[in-house]
Amino acid sequence: MSSSLPLVAIVCPVEFKFSDPEALLEKEVLAGVAEVRTVRIGLNDPFPGEVNDAQAIILWHGPKIDAGVIRGLRNCRAIIRNGVGFDTVDTAAAAQRGIPVCNVPDYGTEEVADHAIALALALCRQLFPLDAEAKRLGWKIQVAPKMHRLRTLQFGVVGLGRIGTAAALRAKALGFRTVFFDPHVPSGTHKAVGIERLASLDELLRTSDVVSVHCPLTPETRGFIGEREIALMKPSAYLINTARGDIVQKAPLFAALRADRLAGAGLDVVENEPLRTAEEAATPNLIVTCHAAFCSPEGMVEMRTSSSRIARAAVQGQAVWNRVN
């Protein structure tokens, strides 16, 4: 029996596994306000008609809402990305239709910052090579020359938003000399967080021992760390990316790792993820963690609650927040 309540559609890829397949959390937040329906689709499948009728769409990662999909939306009052990144939504096309696109920018701040630091520490302290050595029943500590004191190293943050700031403060607390580059944050930000601001990305790349990427994926940042930028880095440096895979070009990064022109990389995300070949997976001095930096039960509850509250406001005709278009 169809409901008389407006529809909130939760759109997710068929491969996605829910810990709450009945969306009980979303239904609790939207109780009495909207019908909640989960719609699973393949990445290249057309959006079904029930999504076109929804007054709000909560979008998990994967399916793309392009201009064609947006033209078919008949009643939509908000598209909410269940996460930080919103590059899977044509925000301009939505704006032309008067549809707000919102995200949940703060749910995974702690988790992603912690994950970036974990990747940095694993590389700086050579945890994986030492683990492999011990499990070969060896005890030679062949990587000892790569195990530097943290307070002798510079930690460079690219993008000082919520997560970048959280990572910078963690790095600072661990004793790294911490610097950042972000042309979009206001003057004086460096004084507020007590770290040094560098004038250019090139300067940060040339001088940092760890480069940690924390900027959103935009036309400006897509592929902006490529062969030229990687060549600027010290051969002893490490590159960390917990932001978006398409910010860092995979081919020149993996080539640099194979040629010992870069000491290591810790990637939660990769360009055209996941890894595609055995050759990519065999890249030396590479840690890859399955786009899982955001994961924690606590973070999932916070994210889903926030997106559901935005959807509730939208279907009630109230102002929404975290709008990105």
End-to-end alpha carbon distance in the chain: 36
CB 54 within 8 A of CB 75: yes
> C-alpha 304: how far from its chain's center?
16
Q: Name the token pair of 140.
A: 């030679």
- Helix/strand/coil for 89: strand
Q: Name the token pair of 292.
A: 């899982």
Q: Are strands 7-13 and 35-41 parallel, antiparallel or unpaired?
A: parallel
Q: Name the token pair of 267.
A: 């990637």
Residue written as token pair 């945890």? 127
Is 280 considered catalytic here?
Answer: no
Is 214 considered catalytic here?
Answer: no
Is 273 considered catalytic here?
Answer: yes
- Helix/strand/coil for 308: helix
Q: Which of 77, 81, 244, 312 is labelled catalytic?
A: 244
Based on C-alpha coordinates, what's the Rg of the chain? 22
Integer CA distances (angstroms), 166 to 33, 154, 200, 204, in order: 36, 16, 21, 18
Q: Which of 61, 273, 280, 323 is labelled catalytic?
A: 273
Q: Which of 61, 125, 162, 291 is labelled catalytic?
A: 291
Cα–Cα dist 285/261, whole Å: 11
Which residues are catalytic, by number? 244, 273, 291
